Amino acid sequence: MADKIKKFFQKKKIDAKFKLAGPGHKLTESSQSSQSSFYKKEVPTVKRSGLSEESKVAADAALARLQQKRDNPSFNTSLAAIKAQVKKELENEVASSSKEPIQVKETTEGNVDIPKNLAASGVYFKCPIISNDILSRDEWKKNIKTFLYEQLEEERGLTACLIIQSCNSNREKVDICVETLCKYLENIVTHPDDEKYQKIRMSNRAFCERVQPIEGSMELLLAAGFMQEKLLNNEGNEEDFLVFKKENIPSVESLTMLIDALRTSEPIPLELDRNLQVLLPSQAANKVQLPSSFYALSPEEIKREQQLRTEAMERSQMLRTKAMREKDELREMRKYKFAIIRVRFPDGILLQGTFSVYERYSEIHEFVQENLEHNGLPFILNTPTGHKIIYEEDANKTLIDLRLVPTTMLTFAWHSSVIDEINNSPNKDVYLKPEVMVLVQEI
């Protein structure tokens, strides 16, 4: 059944029947999605797409020119300007570390008003089995729902299973619904000639509480051969029933496949997008706050909890042990669902990505590695306290384990074993790939 589900999505992706609203946009752009047939209220969204192959070629050429002419004082390119700006900002940072950071003028496009001091405009996801677009979770929920309902006529049974799993938020109620539906179908398979198992009274309490509220359940029963009819109940009054019609399905055995699909289907998965950004030092300094989507609690709940804790601490002047401090620290970090990780390179450029707080350090390491110009060479990341994160020791530790939540600046350094190799490279002063460097925000 898992193979059947996989083939289902492969076919739909090839057919290209599912089209998201509008063309792709730059990383800094925002767009208003088109109105879904299931939602009347338009929701602002930010949609992004990566660089084209032409842009990557242009970036490679720009870097080549930079390396060939960097000793020429008259030479100037966008990358050279970036380096000059970084140097200037680093000097200013050292000279006036106690002063307020210089404000960098930034603009946002589209209809979404994004505060300028946010470290990220939001949390975004990918759904590779459907498309390559990058959207917010809410926008993906709407688009997944639209996609699934478009497939009902062609593949009602399997699609209904996926709607049940993907379009309902309460997992406990979904599990109860699935078991109830399976019981209905198993009774028909086990007792194919017993009429009492072929009728479901729609006013029945179990049906009303366990099945009817779950989106996709009625579509599943229709796919299983049920039809809604008015029949006389035991009191002689007309009432709505769902009645099984054997002629509506290829065979009773097909119900066994439907039961299997119900029990093995899972929600359509979303993958967290890194929301990769390349920042100058001043831009990183100005972007310090996290949007509300990073929190496990609402901002109001967090503010109230902090106030209560402050009041409690003021009332209690007791000496707190290290264990107590660590417990409070962990509780504080668990307020967040996502974290911003910034990696600062020796040239002053910063690479930023979004991670789940329960992802492991190996994901951060891979994120940095795949964006390096010298890909595949070992490196070390240092925490603000000077602690070296050793891949062999820390790969399986979560961001919470390493105290990297909610936002952390890590410092990049090449591993001592490859320093000679880097120094002998013509690109020894280049850290990020050209196609990544061209993403640096406008100076």
CATH 3.10.20.90-classified regions of the chain: 277-294+336-438
- Beta-carbon contacts of 89 under 8 Å, excluding residues fewer than 6 positions away, are 102, 280, 281, 282, 348
pLDDT tens by residue, 62-100: 445 444 434 444 333 355 666 666 766 666 666 654 434
Task: Write out the CATH class of domain 277-294+336-438.
Answer: alpha beta
Nearest Cα residue to 30 out of 162, 90, 120: 120
Has residue 223 got a pLDDT over 90?
yes
* pLDDT tens digits, 344-394: 999 999 999 999 999 999 999 999 999 999 999 999 999 999 999 999 999
- Among left, alpha and beta (phi > 0; psi -120 to 50; other), residue 236 is left
Query: What are the start and end residues of each CATH 1.20.58.2190 domain in the chain?
Result: 125-264
Helix locations, 350-442, DSSP H? 361-371, 391-394, 419-423, 434-437
Q: How many CB atoms lie within 10 A of CB 121?
A: 20
Mean pLDDT value across the chain: 78
Domain 125-264 maps to which CATH number in 1.20.58.2190, 3.40.50.300, 3.50.50.60, 2.60.40.10?
A: 1.20.58.2190
pTM of the model: 0.71
Omega before 406 within 30 of 0, i.e. cis: yes
DSSP 247: G
